[in-house]
Amino acid sequence: MSRSGVGLASDCVTTFEELKLRKSSRFIIYKLNDHRTEIIVEKSSPETDYEKFLEELPENDCRWAVYDFGYKLSEGEGDRNKIVFISWAPDNAPIRSKMTYASSKDALRRAFNGIGAEIQGTDYAEVSYEALLDKVTRK
Protein backbone atom coordinates (compact mmCIF):
# COMPACT_ATOMS: atom_id res chain seq x y z
CA MET A 1 0.00 0.00 0.00
CA SER A 2 1.33 3.43 -0.92
CA ARG A 3 1.17 6.76 0.92
CA SER A 4 -1.80 7.60 -1.30
CA GLY A 5 -3.68 4.49 -0.18
CA VAL A 6 -3.37 2.92 -3.64
CA GLY A 7 -2.91 -0.85 -3.72
CA LEU A 8 -1.12 -3.13 -6.17
CA ALA A 9 -2.94 -5.61 -8.43
CA SER A 10 -1.64 -9.15 -8.03
CA ASP A 11 -0.45 -9.43 -11.65
CA CYS A 12 1.88 -6.41 -11.35
CA VAL A 13 4.66 -8.40 -9.70
CA THR A 14 4.12 -11.64 -11.64
CA THR A 15 4.31 -9.76 -14.95
CA PHE A 16 7.53 -8.10 -13.74
CA GLU A 17 9.02 -11.47 -12.72
CA GLU A 18 8.24 -12.86 -16.19
CA LEU A 19 10.02 -9.87 -17.76
CA LYS A 20 13.06 -10.50 -15.53
CA LEU A 21 13.19 -14.09 -16.74
CA ARG A 22 12.76 -12.85 -20.34
CA LYS A 23 9.77 -15.12 -20.78
CA SER A 24 7.19 -12.97 -22.52
CA SER A 25 7.76 -9.23 -22.21
CA ARG A 26 10.37 -6.65 -23.06
CA PHE A 27 8.38 -3.86 -21.43
CA ILE A 28 5.45 -3.35 -19.09
CA ILE A 29 3.39 -0.20 -18.65
CA TYR A 30 1.52 0.30 -15.39
CA LYS A 31 -1.28 2.74 -14.62
CA LEU A 32 -3.86 3.54 -11.99
CA ASN A 33 -7.28 1.94 -12.47
CA ASP A 34 -10.26 4.16 -13.28
CA HIS A 35 -11.12 4.61 -9.59
CA ARG A 36 -7.49 5.45 -8.71
CA THR A 37 -7.48 2.75 -6.03
CA GLU A 38 -5.11 0.20 -7.56
CA ILE A 39 -2.06 0.00 -9.80
CA ILE A 40 -2.70 -2.32 -12.74
CA VAL A 41 -0.82 -3.60 -15.78
CA GLU A 42 -1.93 -1.55 -18.77
CA LYS A 43 0.18 -3.31 -21.36
CA SER A 44 3.09 -5.70 -21.68
CA SER A 45 4.80 -6.52 -24.93
CA PRO A 46 7.70 -8.54 -26.35
CA GLU A 47 8.39 -5.59 -28.71
CA THR A 48 12.12 -4.84 -28.66
CA ASP A 49 12.16 -1.49 -30.48
CA TYR A 50 12.60 1.28 -27.89
CA GLU A 51 10.95 3.92 -30.10
CA LYS A 52 7.81 1.77 -30.36
CA PHE A 53 7.79 1.48 -26.56
CA LEU A 54 7.98 5.28 -26.24
CA GLU A 55 4.94 5.60 -28.53
CA GLU A 56 2.96 3.69 -25.88
CA LEU A 57 3.54 6.40 -23.26
CA PRO A 58 0.61 8.87 -23.33
CA GLU A 59 1.36 12.49 -24.19
CA ASN A 60 -0.90 13.91 -21.50
CA ASP A 61 -1.10 11.44 -18.61
CA CYS A 62 1.24 9.72 -16.19
CA ARG A 63 2.42 6.10 -16.23
CA TRP A 64 5.12 3.88 -14.79
CA ALA A 65 7.03 1.49 -16.98
CA VAL A 66 9.64 -1.21 -16.73
CA TYR A 67 11.86 -1.78 -19.75
CA ASP A 68 14.42 -4.52 -20.31
CA PHE A 69 17.02 -2.21 -21.85
CA GLY A 70 19.62 -3.86 -24.11
CA TYR A 71 22.81 -2.03 -25.04
CA LYS A 72 26.51 -2.43 -25.89
CA LEU A 73 29.26 -0.80 -23.86
CA SER A 74 31.83 -0.82 -26.65
CA GLU A 75 33.08 -3.06 -29.43
CA GLY A 76 34.12 -6.47 -28.22
CA GLU A 77 32.42 -6.19 -24.83
CA GLY A 78 29.20 -7.91 -25.86
CA ASP A 79 25.59 -7.15 -25.15
CA ARG A 80 24.31 -5.96 -21.78
CA ASN A 81 20.84 -5.64 -20.29
CA LYS A 82 19.50 -3.59 -17.42
CA ILE A 83 15.94 -3.43 -16.21
CA VAL A 84 14.96 0.23 -16.04
CA PHE A 85 12.08 1.68 -14.01
CA ILE A 86 10.56 4.75 -15.65
CA SER A 87 8.28 7.28 -13.94
CA TRP A 88 6.47 9.14 -16.71
CA ALA A 89 4.79 12.43 -15.75
CA PRO A 90 4.55 14.73 -18.79
CA ASP A 91 4.35 18.48 -18.15
CA ASN A 92 0.84 18.69 -19.60
CA ALA A 93 -0.61 15.88 -17.44
CA PRO A 94 -3.31 16.96 -14.98
CA ILE A 95 -1.93 18.10 -11.60
CA ARG A 96 -4.12 15.59 -9.71
CA SER A 97 -2.76 12.77 -11.84
CA LYS A 98 0.85 13.86 -11.23
CA MET A 99 0.28 14.05 -7.48
CA THR A 100 -1.41 10.63 -7.27
CA TYR A 101 1.22 8.94 -9.44
CA ALA A 102 4.07 10.54 -7.46
CA SER A 103 2.63 9.48 -4.09
CA SER A 104 1.83 5.95 -5.34
CA LYS A 105 5.16 5.18 -7.03
CA ASP A 106 6.88 3.71 -3.97
CA ALA A 107 4.32 0.91 -3.60
CA LEU A 108 5.11 -0.27 -7.12
CA ARG A 109 8.86 0.38 -7.03
CA ARG A 110 9.39 -1.44 -3.71
CA ALA A 111 7.62 -4.54 -5.06
CA PHE A 112 10.33 -5.03 -7.71
CA ASN A 113 13.71 -6.62 -7.04
CA GLY A 114 16.29 -6.37 -9.81
CA ILE A 115 15.82 -2.82 -11.11
CA GLY A 116 19.17 -1.69 -12.54
CA ALA A 117 18.35 1.98 -13.08
CA GLU A 118 15.55 4.44 -12.50
CA ILE A 119 14.63 7.46 -14.57
CA GLN A 120 12.03 10.21 -14.29
CA GLY A 121 10.60 11.72 -17.47
CA THR A 122 8.50 14.82 -18.05
CA ASP A 123 9.09 14.85 -21.80
CA TYR A 124 10.24 12.33 -24.41
CA ALA A 125 13.80 13.73 -24.49
CA GLU A 126 14.28 12.76 -20.83
CA VAL A 127 13.37 9.13 -21.58
CA SER A 128 15.02 8.89 -25.00
CA TYR A 129 17.23 5.94 -25.90
CA GLU A 130 20.28 8.18 -25.48
CA ALA A 131 19.14 9.38 -22.02
CA LEU A 132 18.64 5.78 -20.86
CA LEU A 133 21.95 4.67 -22.35
CA ASP A 134 23.69 7.51 -20.49
CA LYS A 135 21.95 6.53 -17.24
CA VAL A 136 22.78 2.81 -17.40
CA THR A 137 26.41 3.27 -18.50
CA ARG A 138 27.27 6.01 -16.00
CA LYS A 139 29.83 4.79 -13.51
What is the model's pLDDT at position 1?
58
What is the model's pLDDT at position 126?
96
pLDDT interval class at 43 (50, 70, 90) = very high
CA atoms within 13 A on the CB side of 118: 11
Quote the DSSP letter at residue 125: G
Residue 3 has pLDDT above 70, yes or no: no
What is the model's pLDDT at position 48?
81
What ranges do the domains of the chain cover?
7-137
> CB neighbours (10 Å) of residue 42?
16
Class of domain 7-137: alpha beta
Q: What is the torsional sign of CA 18, 20, 101, 104?
A: positive
Tens-digit pLDDT profile for residues 73-105: 776 677 888 999 999 999 999 999 999 999 999
Q: Tell me the pTM.
A: 0.91
Q: CA 61, CA 52: separation in Å to the nearest integer?
A: 18
Tens-digit pLDDT profile for residues 103-129: 999 989 999 999 999 999 999 999 999
Residue 4 has pLDDT above 80, yes or no: no
